[in-house]
């Protein structure tokens, strides 16, 4: 390998990295613009509320993607951190009259701390055992929330959470929550994209590929696992806080075991190690859920929520069979095939110009 040659190579590599980075930037700016303009087209409050929920789910999914997709640590208990954020915010604002912004920050710090402390013992487990243990977190959370009625309102939930205010400005309309939630989501997204494309992101992926090799290369495996869990819990807490202000009520069912599973599904559908995939997964599964809720009762007379879950499951099985790398990767592959066959047709047309008129 001559020096001149390699410098050309390294320059080319530099160029591709630059392009990759700018692709991310372009995609990010495009997404921000689309989101900013979307409400002009989506004027129905119900539809706007779906968009808000996609925002919550994106925050949750992006965090879970960092933990599961990038670092390879399965969590079937992510709804717990979502719930912690919501309940802590709710408690502080209703029982102690904290200002909403302070409550959000306090919830994020406390949930992050909780995740860190849970992580210390739980990360002694790997693979399926870790999954089982995180599953247990849901049960603990649900039990605490349902039985500590004095604090949490029990099964009826925590009522009377005030509207979110930033200084004198009180957020009331659907539209204001839409913008707030998506502003925070975009911040979460930007931070996550930066982390993924950095020394930290590399270390996380290294842990996923081989903990043994990562540790002998100097990666502090346990510390990084704890930190990424904490970060994803903080994201979840932020989502939970905003969720609490948005609905002004938090009930245990919003943070149940099913929600944890749905989040994992969103990550899997989006494609495990892809931040952009996480948004896509969050959006598609949220929309799918809403669509099924509307369609199923029409298709099957007297169909209830269970019927919706049935169709949900069937669709997931189909996705996983035909697009095991997730919907995003599957669609990208499909587009590539389409383009390639298009090129082939164009070439054929060029070869025999008479054939095509």
Partner 1 sequence: MSAQTVAPQPVVEPRAQSGNLVLEARRIHKVFGGLVAVNNLSFSVFEGEILSIIGPNGAGKTTVFNLLTGVLPLDGGEIWFRGRKLNGLPPHAIARLGMARTFQTVHIFENMTVLENVMIGRHPRSRYGFVEAAFQLPWARKEEQAIRQHAMACLELVGIADLAGELAGNLPFGQQRLVELARALATEPTCLLLDEPASGLSHQEVVELDALIRRLRDEQGITVLLIEHDMNLVMGIADRIVVINYGEKIAEGAPEEIQQNERVIAAYLGEDV
Chain residues binding partner 1 by CB under 8 A are 1-3, 5-6, 9-10, 13, 16, 191, 194-195, 198-203, 205-206, 208-210, 212-221, 227, 231, 273
Beta carbon nearer to partner 1, 209 or 317: 209
Quote the DSSP letter at residue 76: S
Beta carbon nearer to partner 1, 196 or 250: 196
Beta carbon nearer to partner 1, 32 or 261: 32
In DSSP terms, 250 is beta-bridged to 158
Beta carbon nearer to partner 1, 189 or 264: 189
SS3 (DSSP) at 353: coil
Beta carbon nearer to partner 1, 26 or 194: 194
Six token digits for residue 229: 């869990």
CB of 198 to partner 1, least distance (A): 4
CB of 209 to partner 1, least distance (A): 4
Six token digits for residue 128: 């399926």
User: In this structure, what are the phi and psi dihedrals at residue 242, rounded to the nearest 5 degrees?
Assistant: -65, -40
Six token digits for residue 173: 């309309």
In DSSP terms, 165 is beta-bridged to 170
Six token digits for residue 286: 């949220």
CB of 171 to partner 1, least distance (A): 26
CB of 274 to partner 1, least distance (A): 12
CB of 341 to partner 1, least distance (A): 25
User: With contact defined as beta carbons under 8 Å apart, do 106 and 91 qualify?
Assistant: no
Beta carbon nearer to partner 1, 38 or 221: 221
The Cα 151–Cα 147 span in angstroms is: 9
Six token digits for residue 181: 């939630």
In DSSP terms, 169 is beta-bridged to 166
HEC sequence for 148-166: CHHHHCHHHCECCCCCCEE
DSSP result, 239-308 = HHHHHHHHHS-B-GGGGSHHHHHHHHHHHHHH-TT-HHHHHHHHHHHHHHHHHHHHHHHHHSTT--HHHH
The Cα 184–Cα 124 span in angstroms is: 33
CB of 97 to partner 1, least distance (A): 32
Beta carbon nearer to partner 1, 47 or 208: 208
CB of 319 to partner 1, least distance (A): 22
The Cα 80–Cα 237 span in angstroms is: 9
């Amino acid at each position: 390998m001559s020096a001149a040659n390699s410098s050309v190579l390294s320059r080319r590599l530099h160029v591709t990295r630059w392009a990759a980075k700018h692709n991310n930037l372009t995609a990010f700016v495009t997404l921000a613009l689309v989101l900013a303009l979307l409400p002009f087209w989506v004027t129905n409050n119900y539809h706007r509320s779906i968009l808000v929920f996609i925002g919550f789910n994106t925050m949750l999914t992006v965090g879970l993607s960092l933990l599961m997709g990038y670092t390879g640590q399965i969590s079937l208990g992510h709804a717990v951190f979502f719930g912690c954020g919501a309940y802590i915010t709710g408690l502080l604002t209703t029982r102690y009259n904290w200002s909403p912004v302070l409550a959000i920050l306090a919830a994020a710090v406390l949930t992050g701390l909780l995740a860190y402390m849970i992580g210390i013992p739980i990360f002694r487990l790997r693979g399926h055992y870790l999954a089982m243990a995180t599953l247990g977190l849901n049960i603990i959370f649900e039990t605490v929330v349902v039985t500590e009625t004095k604090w949490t309102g029990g099964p009826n939930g925590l009522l009377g959470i005030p509207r979110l205010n930033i200084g004198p400005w009180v957020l009331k309309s659907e539209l204001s929550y839409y913008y707030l939630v998506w502003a925070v989501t975009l911040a979460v997204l930007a931070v996550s994209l930066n982390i993924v494309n950095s020394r930290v992101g590399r270390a996380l992926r290294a842990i996923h590929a081989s903990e043994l090799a990562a540790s002998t290369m100097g990666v502090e495996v346990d510390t990084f696992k704890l930190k990424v869990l904490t970060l994803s819990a903080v994201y979840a807490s932020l989502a939970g806080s905003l969720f609490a202000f948005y609905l002004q009520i938090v009930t245990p069912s919003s943070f149940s075991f099913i929600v944890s599973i749905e989040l994992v599904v969103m990550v899997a559908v989006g494609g495990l190690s892809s931040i952009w995939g996480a948004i896509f997964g969050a959006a598609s599964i949220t929309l799918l859920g809403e669509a099924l809720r509307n369609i199923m009762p029409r298709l099957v007379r007297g169909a209830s929520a269970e019927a919706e879950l049935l169709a949900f499951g069937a669709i997931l099985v189909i996705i996983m069979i035909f697009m095991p790398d997730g919907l995003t990767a599957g669609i990208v592959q499909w587009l590539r095939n389409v383009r390639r066959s298009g090129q082939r047709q164009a070439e054929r047309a060029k070869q025999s110009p008479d054939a095509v008129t």
